[in-house]
């Protein structure tokens, strides 16, 4: 399996606070069947892009080194989770934030109320710049719950949807669960990620989650969203 969205990288956002936690989260991931993870620390308009990328890449190298010493053969690739805003699109080239230097950019909207017209403009701007947006956890946004037609507007723009595995088992409420299952089963969401932040709540022990998946998520769909499609993203292929 491949995890395309997580906050495993230490001391860079609200995810793993230190290297030990990163290593433990990687160990959990490996023992649960992951062989590749793309680290996607939060990037917002208050970050300076070059500093962020330098810090991220330094920490990835450090993590890779410890994983080798600890004999955890998990491949670690680079990415980011872009918090969309007016400011972010003025930040210069975003290429270094894309997943494994591909065309794919993992991005998120504010979880609470905001002007979705602007949200769609941010998405259009990313597309204009040559990126294919991957929207993180569409099932979690208030503005999408309030107006489901936004889903169609995003699909019309070929935005890729990534749902969180904990949403599928109801950890983010029943609305998010219903929406995430629906998006996956109708083929609208092509990716499942952990969005792991820690060892306890939003973690990388996916086998525990798999046991609780609703019956509609069959094995074939699951493998496509957690292995086949993420591989295509990493390889910069169309899904
Ligand atoms: Fe995230």
Q: How far is the CA of 195 from the centre of ligand 1 (A)?
A: 5
Q: How far is the CA of 41 from the centre of ligand 1 (A)?
A: 7
Positions of E strands within the chain: 2-3, 36-39, 42-43, 75-78, 81-83, 104-108, 132-136, 160-164, 189-193
pTM over 0.95: yes
Q: How far is the CA of 136 from the centre of ligand 1 (A)?
A: 7
Q: How far is the CA of 175 from the centre of ligand 1 (A)?
A: 19
pLDDT in tens, the chain (239 residues): 999 999 999 999 999 999 999 999 999 999 999 999 999 999 999 999 999 999 999 999 999 999 999 999 999 999 999 999 998 888 789 999 999 999 999 999 999 999 999 999 999 999 999 999 999 999 999 999 999 999 999 999 999 999 999 999 999 999 999 999 999 999 999 999 999 999 999 999 999 999 999 999 999 999 999 999 999 999 999 99
Which domains, and CATH codes, for the chain? 2-234 (3.20.20.140)
Q: How far is the CA of 108 from the centre of ligand 1 (A)?
A: 8
Q: Collect all residues with Cβ–Cβ distance below 8 Å to 202 and sequence separation of at least 6.
A: 166, 194, 195, 196
């Amino acid at each position: 399996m491949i995890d395309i969205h997580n906050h495993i990288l230490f001391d860079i956002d609200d995810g793993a606070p230190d290297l030990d936690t990163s290593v433990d989260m990687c160990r959990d991931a490996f023992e649960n069947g992951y062989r590749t993870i793309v680290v996607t620390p939060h990037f917002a308009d208050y970050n300076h892009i070059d500093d962020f990328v330098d810090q991220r890449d330094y920490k990835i190298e450090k993590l890779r080194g410890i994983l080798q010493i600890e004999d955890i053969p998990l491949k670690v690739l680079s990415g980011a989770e872009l918090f969309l805003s007016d400011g972010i699109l003025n930040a210069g080239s975003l290429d270094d934030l894309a997943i494994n230097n591909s065309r794919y950019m993992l991005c998120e909207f504010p979880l609470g109320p905001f002007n979705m017209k602007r949200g769609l403009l941010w998405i259009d701007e990313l597309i204009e710049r040559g990126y294919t947006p991957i929207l993180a956890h569409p099932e979690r946004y208030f503005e999408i719950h309030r107006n489901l037609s936004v889903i169609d507007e995003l699909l019309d723009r070929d935005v890729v949807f990534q749902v969180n595995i904990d949403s599928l088992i109801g950890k983010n409420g029943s609305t998010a669960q219903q929406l995430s299952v629906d998006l996956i089963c109708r083929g609208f969401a092509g990716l499942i990620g952990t969005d792991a932040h820690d060892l306890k709540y939003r973690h990388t022990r996916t086998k525990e989650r798999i046991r609780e998946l609703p019956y509609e998520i069959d094995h074939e769909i699951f493998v496509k969203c957690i292995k086949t499609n993420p591989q295509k993203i990493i390889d910069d292929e169309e899904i």
